[in-house]
Amino acid sequence: MYINDVNLSPLVVAEPGESYQSQTNLNRWIEVLVDCPGSTGLFTYRSPAQLEIKPGDILSVPFGAQQVGAIAIRFLAQPNIDLPLEKIREVEDIVSVGFFPSAYWELLNRVAAYYYTPLIQVIRVALPPGLLGRSQRRIRLVRGEGEQKNNSKFQNTLTPPLVSSLVTPTARQILELLQAQPAGDYSFAYIQQKIKSAYRGIRELVRFGLVQSYLEPPRLTRPKLQKAIILIDATDSDLTTRQREIVEVLRRRGGELWQSELLQICNASSSILKTLVQKGYIVIEEREVLRTEQGPALAGDRAKSLTAAQANALAIIQSIDGFAEVLLHGVTGSGKTEVYLQAIAPLLNQGKSALVLVPEIGLTPQLTDRFRARFGMAVASTGGTRARRSLYKVSVYHSALSDGERYDTWRQMLTGEPQVVIGTRSAVFAPLPNLGLIILDEEHDSSFKQDSPIPTYHARTVAQWRAELENCPLVLGSATPSLESWVSVRRQEEQGGRGLRQEPPTRDGGAEGQGSRGAGEQGKQNSLYYLSLPERIYSRPLPPIEIVDMRLELQQGNRSIFSRALQEALEQLQERQQQGILFIHRRGHSTFVSCRSCGYVLECPHCDVSLSYHHTEEGAPQLLRCHYCNYTRSHPKFCPDCSSPYLKFFGSGTQRVAQELARQFPQLRLIRFDSDTTRNKGAHRTLLTQFANGEADLLVGTQMLTKGLDLPQVTLVGVVAADGLLHLSDYRASERAFQTLTQVAGRAGRGEDPGRVIVQTYTPEHQVIEAVRSHDYQSFSQVELEQRQALNYPPYGRLILLRLSSLDPIQVQNAAQIIATALSAEDGFEILGPAPASILRVANRYRWQILIKFAPDALPQLPDWEEVRDLCPPSVSLTIDVDPLNIM
Ligand code: ADP
Ligand code: ZN
Ligand code: ZN
């Protein structure tokens, strides 16, 4: 690949004063990745003698008419012979040096190769937004020495006639443009807009020393600086009372404070500080304020004395030297998090860092608080808090942070100080040097997988690679391990015989006495360990799970969405001053609206789905909303088809359940916890804190409340309708339903009061329901794995999903057909489809897909992805999803 011909003049091969001999050919040409939408290949540039570029550096390069960010990949001895030397442009500057340590670089390359994604797109996921590409090239006049801000003076240093005789008309035009502006400073892009072929003119002016070209760092992500006051002398012999007061405040606060804070406390103005500086009592320093997310102040927390099972798990994790994978299978409330905390503590003292990955931000505030309470505060670098500095940083890193916060947290990691980073999926790329441990909590959770855009990576897979490359252990924790992880454990058991003898936790026996086994007995095979925490802390029982058959309820005359058992339990909540959680599969009010007279269903005009009814409270607007494209309209009074006024709501979402609760149990105080109510920043934390403080009796929400909440006062968990989870058309539906229901049930009875779970369903005989009721992970996974194996679905045969979409229904179908035909000529896999996606049209795009199923235990690899992609016309978008989780 070579540089597109752009409107550029040939470059001068040697600059004045720069000799040919001084440069070896070796590092003269460099291939770079350019950060520009649509650009994916490598481009060749000339590496100027004055820059010492190394692979992995972030650069700024000219690209077409722009200056863009780029990453140095490798040096070339010779540029491609197809590429005329005079077309090769020169690297402008180095933005940041030595960004990617080799293991990290290797990781990014693996992700790119495995997920069929151009490397630059993987790099974009790994870097905080805006780091690449927002550095701005600017041009400014060089002014004579001792010169004031006066443009006419500049012209005196080099008189116009002289300038005219020396430079080309283009250069002169640029000079005039700059001189006309008081600051004499414009962005390169602006000058290029104003003047044709500006690039050449600027080079000329730079050579004459008339202008300077410089890089301005990204605006958005510029570090934030603030003035700090530091006390250097407190012997107050010559101070006024007022000045002494200030020195005293500083002294009491540990000798350092932000200027703004100090002035506020002392109610003083900055002039008094100047005097103190002159007298040599204080210094004022520009310090960086890190915009990392701040947690509330927390009381410290000490390590708990471990149960035998916890101690055993910890001993094994700590015995690992180098890379190994650990599956920590612990029932809900068994103290997995305590094991993580104690595994991390000694690492920090050794100067290493730890990465903790969690499924969703909803979960992070509580978890982050536990880590902060144990290891230290988020260091806010506020002045005067020296004592805190010896503690470790615990920062969060996820996509809901502002760009500035992300940038700062990210840079904070690069300092190399021992620290803990807690984050969601993309934090698997957190650039922590000296990584000592990676933990992936709730490893079964599907939010670790990215569906779109590419790379469609799974954080668990990437974490495995990363741990291997960094040579550190990876701990996967779950109460309901993914079948992928479970099968790996079982395989090793079959192959090795020795070790891995721990049974998975089941409620009735089978796992007793495991905690007492010595570390040596649980063997190590191919660096995979299986560790089990089969009991809850203090041997608290797992909550009993009652299954309520909603068909019987109806037969016996109960038309409410709450069964009699659940109604009773809700009534008791307040009497007993306990709290409950109600799980609903969907947000909104109703899943669809239909006409009772003619059966018409209100649908989204852009998607093949029905509209959900949204209504939060009396007097609020009644809306219909599409959960796929967010199309919203008001709820009609009459059927759009037959004008009947009898429109009926079907399917209950969180809003309807909340309304129904308010009607039937007006005394119950409730908090709705779903993506509608947690949209604002910090909302998760606020709502959970309110609930934890007892400001509500009931938390009503979706998926996000099933994950990791540890609230000891919760005794009741109700699942309003399990059926929404059971009857999904994808091969993972059962696994997901089992995991979700087990997790949500696991929120009950974590404290001293015993818990109770009520699951309402129309299909109580379903295998998943039975397995959830008996807390029986093992028989569930056995039946499920047999079915997967029979059909060669993962974790046996691996999958690749090709997703095609287009505004044109015919073209997309044709393209799918052509690609499927081409692929079917290849060996090593089976083609399913092409088939329309289960919702054919979303946001006006028609969607087709091709599922490629590989032989058992083969890696999901296509022989020629580039060729496949070339078969797709531009009007059709084609994306590849390796190891897809959602196939609908
Ligand atoms: P999990 O992560 O397995 O769901 P947690 O780590 O949240 O379990 O532990 C459940 C509760 O038990 C938490 O409140 C935790 O503080 C407490 N806990 C964990 N380990 C111990 C221990 N060894 N002694 C006393 N309490 C513990
Ligand atoms: Zn109608
Ligand atoms: Zn829609």
Residue 159 has pLDDT above 90, yes or no: no
- What's the gap in Å between 336 CA and the centre of ligand 1? 7
Cα–Cα dist 779/764, whole Å = 17
Q: Give me the mean pLDDT over the 285-295 stretch.
A: 62
Q: Could you tell me the CA-to-CA distances from 672 to 99, 678, 705 in Å, in that order?
A: 44, 9, 10
Relative orientation angle of helices 270-278 and 259-266, to the nearest 10 degrees: 110
Determine whether domain 536-587+653-795 maps to CATH 3.40.50.2000. Answer: no
Ligand nearest to the CA of 626: 3
- Phi/psi region, residue 234 (left: phi>0; alpha: psi -120 to 50; beta: rest), is alpha
Query: Tell me, what's the pLDDT at 412?
Result: 79
Contact of 594 with 583, CB cutoff 8 Å: no
For atom 17 of ligand 1, the residue with the nearest CA is 335
Q: Of 395, 438, 391, which Cα lies nearest the Cα of 420?
A: 395
Q: What's the pLDDT at 615?
A: 77
Interval between CA 648 and ligand 2 midpoint (Å): 10
Of 517 and 336, the one with more pLDDT: 336
Residue 828 sits at φ, ψ, to 5 deg, of: 95, -5
User: How far is Cα 848 from Cα 841, in angstroms, rounded to an integer?
Assistant: 9
Nearest atom within ligand 1 for CA of residue 479:
3
Return the residue whose CA atom lies nearest to atom 24 of ligand 1: 304
Does 304 sit in the ligand 1 pocket, CB within 6 Å? yes
Amino acid at 645: P
Higher per-residue pLDDT: 507 or 323: 323
Same fold, 308-479 and 536-587+653-795: yes
Model confidence band, residue 389 (pLDDT cutoffs 50, 70, 90):
very low
Task: Give residue-wise pLDDT tens across range 230-260.
Answer: 787 767 678 888 888 888 888 877 677 778 8
CATH architecture group of domain 308-479: 3-Layer(aba) Sandwich (3.40)
Using the CB atoms, write b or e for 823-859: b if 16+ within 10 Å.
beeeeebebebbebbeebbbeebbbbbbbbbbeeeee
Per-residue pLDDT band at 36 (split at 50, 70, 90)? low
Q: What is the pLDDT of residue 406?
A: 81
Class of domain 225-288: mainly alpha
Please work out whether the CB of residue 477 comes within 6 Å of at least one atom of ligand 1. no
Please determine, for residue 263, whether its predicted confidence score (pLDDT) is greater than 60: yes
pLDDT tens readout for residues 568-617: 999 998 888 899 999 988 776 667 788 888 878 888 888 777 788 887 77
Higher pLDDT, 512 or 279: 279
Domain 2-126 classification at class level: alpha beta
The region of weakest confidence among 77-81, 110-114, 688-692 is 77-81
Distance from C-alpha of 790 to C-alpha of 807, rounded to nearest angstrom: 38
Residue to mutate, 422, 444, 535, 537, ligand 1, most ligand atoms under 8 Å from C-beta: 537
What confidence score (pLDDT) does residue 295 get? 55
Q: Is 219 in the pocket of ligand 1 (CB under 6 A)?
A: no
- Ligand 2: centre distance to CA 611 (Å): 15
For residue 582, which phi and psi values (nearest 5 degrees)? -115, 125
419-423 vs 353-357, strand pairing mode: parallel
Q: Where are the domains of the chain?
A: 2-126, 136-216, 225-288, 308-479, 536-587+653-795, 592-650, 798-882
Looking at domain 798-882, its CATH superfamily turns out to be: Ribosomal protein S10 (3.30.70.600)
